[in-house]
A and B are shown apart, each in its own frame.
Chain A
């Protein structure tokens, strides 16, 4: 079913004075999707979220929710609900009053509200005795659940999450990430989640929208973003990667030929599916993730290989990370499963190889 998008953002601009916070953002969000807006601070992701919520206006462009133009519709009347970064629980209301607040505003009677509140605390796995407490008597994780319950109780069509997990410690964060995922699956509401934590986005989202300086750089599934980044910034934003300069020399329907100073490749060509569309002749970058590179022999039958010297070893418990430098000065990162004895030693001259299917070629640019 190709239903109309629940949220459709078309060419939205926003400027504060002369500073452009958003410059031409277009994005369609599907029904029931979990989408993450990711980017460094100041990239415009929160501005975009606030525009959807109705807390900020757009300088130009259209935001539609279920096909309806939201221009001029106040936040109170939008079918959206926001979970704030600082949670914004009302300190003068009990947990029950906080959760029931949206329904109280809709003038529902007390018993209906109480029933819905009970339903919500069960959904959020909160203890019923918390209902009479004030928010500040709860732990950070519990407050988080209360904030989510308050946002969900009015059955919004879009749940907007503004980095609600950013203030929590790592352990609690992991628990609540799992919680969010479970919640999303069980209620089927569309989630738009803003975060600067790409790992979090990869874990949670069906699709990730990477933003930078008011523009969308790439929109895709986590695997697309991770293995097939659109540009060096996206590639570097999500964990470590290797970007090796190559020169594209020709292209036909199936193959793209390339040359490299250092990479040894008998064929000197790649299937077109592994190359960013529209990339013509000239300089390009070959992206290979550290965990896809292996040590090999000089004569080994590997698609691509490279000679290098190990310059650094980091043992991280489950994995071991290496830094290596090629004779021409190319820096590489390699990550392998940890073993009881190190497979490569500091200062060792090695051959490093990787399979062609793990390559992604992208356009050069600033990282």
Chain B
């Protein structure tokens, strides 16, 4: 295996072939990242970027617990969103892939529409629905429930609701695809071997849909770490998440080095979490 890799790397043709991709990756991905990194070692004075090398920003980042509290809160919200999304998406995807085959295409169109409708619009829609004088309370009042039953707008719960609502389609799609890929005869083989419906699901369907669950989780986690709309609109900006903090640092405080540093910290931590979980998932697969 190692030999093969080194042989490929010595092949000069490979470098030529890889050139377009290397240029694209460098200019569009690597260069901005390096620039962001350089930016963190500069200073701001009077809302102006001052090109003097120093470590003040990083000292600030590593000494103020405030940033880390927000980061922790962000990770927690993203993970909570992943769990809720998977729990909701799995039965939906399973139903789509197994029970509602006849309406399969219609349902997929509906989910796609949910995707392409602007998230801002949908998020503000929730505000109207959840507001003290909103549609939900109006409905509940008519059903004889006490005034203001729904009173969690502008809290973390509302933020989570918005995140789940906006990110759910990713989980449904990825899980649906992996369940759809499971060959029917595998399930029949499980029945034939003496498995009950539940056992067949537990021993065959669930493990084989793990790739979809995993893909959906990673996708939602990374998107969830980056949300700023939901905490602002539905959370009322009371407990900001990392993305909002970064936006504020760049736009309101005009502290670019700090914004850049916070961005890098968020990226590194998010990637670390994903790697950590994939390690755990990988170990489970090997041990299973």
A127 interface residue per 8 A CB criterion: no
Q: Chain B residues near A101 (CB, 8 Å)?
A: 190, 193, 203
In angstroms, how far is the closest chain B Cβ from the Cβ of A82? Answer: 5
Picked from B185, B195, B210, B285, the residue with its CB within 8 Å of the CB of A88 is B185
A170 interface residue per 8 A CB criterion: no
In angstroms, how far is the closest chain B Cβ from the Cβ of A75? Answer: 4
Q: Chain A residues near B144 (CB, 8 Å)?
A: none
A143 interface residue per 8 A CB criterion: no
Picked from A76, A89, A150, A151, the residue with its CB within 8 Å of the CB of B191 is A76
Whether A86 lies near B194 (C-beta < 8 A) is no
In angstroms, how far is the closest chain A Cβ from the Cβ of B188? Answer: 6
A90 interface residue per 8 A CB criterion: yes
Picked from A53, A82, A89, A92, the residue with its CB within 8 Å of the CB of B208 is A92
Q: How far is the CA of A90 from the CA of B203 in the complex (A)?
A: 9
Whether B199 lies near A88 (C-beta < 8 A) is no
* A61-102 interface with B by 8 A CB criterion: 74-77, 80-82, 84-86, 88-92, 101-102
Indicate the size class of the contact surface on chain A: 20 to 34
Whether B194 lies near A76 (C-beta < 8 A) is yes
Interface size in chain B (residues, C-beta < 8 A): 20
B38 interface residue per 8 A CB criterion: no
B204 interface residue per 8 A CB criterion: yes
Interface majority SS on B: helix, strand, loop or mixed? helix
B183 interface residue per 8 A CB criterion: yes
Picked from A75, A102, A105, A150, the residue with its CB within 8 Å of the CB of B188 is A75
17 contacts between A and B (CB under 8 A): A76-B192, A77-B194, A81-B193, A82-B189, A84-B185, A84-B188, A86-B183, A86-B185, A88-B186, A89-B189, A90-B189, A90-B203, A92-B208, A102-B194, A105-B195, A150-B189, A154-B194
Q: Chain A residues near B189 (CB, 8 Å)?
A: 82, 84, 88-90, 150
Query: Could you mark each residue 8-41 of chain B with 1 if its beta carbon is under 8 Å from any beta carbon of chain A, else 0?
Result: 0000000000000000000000000000000000
Nearest first, the 9 closest Cβ-Cβ pairs linking A and B are A88-B189, A102-B193, A88-B185, A105-B194, A75-B191, A92-B207, A84-B185, A76-B194, A82-B192
Residue of B186, B188, B193 ringed by the most chain A CB atoms within 10 A = B193
In angstroms, how far is the closest chain A Cβ from the Cβ of B190? Answer: 8
Q: Chain B residues near A105 (CB, 8 Å)?
A: 193-195, 199
Q: Chain A residues near B210 (CB, 8 Å)?
A: 92
For the A-B complex, the count of residue pairs with Cβ-Cβ distances under 8 Å equals: 60
Q: How far is the CA of A31 from the CA of B204 in the complex (A)?
A: 33
Q: Chain B residues near A89 (CB, 8 Å)?
A: 189
Picked from B186, B188, B203, B204, the residue with its CB within 8 Å of the CB of A82 is B188
Q: How far is the CA of A92 from the CA of B183 in the complex (A)?
A: 13
Whether A90 lies near B186 (C-beta < 8 A) is yes
B288 interface residue per 8 A CB criterion: yes
Given A85-B185, A90-B190, A90-B203; 7 other pairs, CB 8 A cutoff: A55-B191, A75-B192, A81-B193, A82-B189, A88-B189, A89-B189, A92-B210
B196 interface residue per 8 A CB criterion: yes
A316 interface residue per 8 A CB criterion: no
A106 interface residue per 8 A CB criterion: yes
Query: Could you mark each residue 47-61 of chain A with 1 if its beta carbon is under 8 Å from any beta carbon of chain B, else 0?
Result: 000000111000000
In angstroms, how far is the closest chain A Cβ from the Cβ of B288? Answer: 7
Q: Chain B residues near A75 (CB, 8 Å)?
A: 188, 191-192
Residue of A80, A82, A88, A106 ringed by the most chain B CB atoms within 10 A = A88
Q: Chain B residues near A55 (CB, 8 Å)?
A: 188, 191-192
Picked from B191, B196, B199, B204, the residue with its CB within 8 Å of the CB of A90 is B204
Picked from A80, A81, A88, A151, the residue with its CB within 8 Å of the CB of B183 is A88
In angstroms, how far is the closest chain A Cβ from the Cβ of B230? Answer: 36
Q: How far is the CA of A348 from the CA of B202 in the complex (A)?
A: 71
Q: How far is the CA of A150 from the CA of B189 in the complex (A)?
A: 10
Q: How far is the CA of A105 from the CA of B189 in the complex (A)?
A: 12
Q: Chain A residues near B191 (CB, 8 Å)?
A: 54-55, 74-76
